[in-house]
Amino acid sequence: MTLPMGIGAGLGLQNAPSEHREIVSAVFEALATGIFIHVIFIEVLAKEFPEHHHHDDDYTSKSSKQPIEPSEVCLMLEKIASICLGLLTLILLNVFMHSHHH
């Protein structure tokens, strides 16, 4: 349902006066960015680090947890480095794409 609504909103923006189009476009971009960030950090990345997600009922079993293996630490650091590299790539793409438009 949201795809046809988005297409309709985009078509409607093409016919809108330029001052309103800029504002509405900025609001839609901010909303899309917020949804994207939520999905990435809450839905996707939370599944990459399941052993660090604590529930309220886990407090009783914390003392019986095993120490983290060095290979698990390396894997976690690789995941974090990949996340940082991906974010840096997106930031650099954004900077260079906007610098070529002006």
In the structure encoding, which two tokens stand for residue 11, read together?
């078509």
pTM for the whole structure? 0.50
Q: What is the pLDDT of residues 17-65, one digit of tens each?
A: 777 777 878 888 888 888 888 888 888 877 877 765 555 444 444 555 6
Identify which has the larger pLDDT, 101 or 5.
Answer: 5
Q: Is the dihedral of CA 18, 21, 23, 29 positive or negative?
A: negative
Q: What is the pLDDT of residues 55-87, one digit of tens each?
A: 544 444 455 566 777 788 888 888 889 888 988
Phi, psi of 66 (to 5 degrees): -80, 150
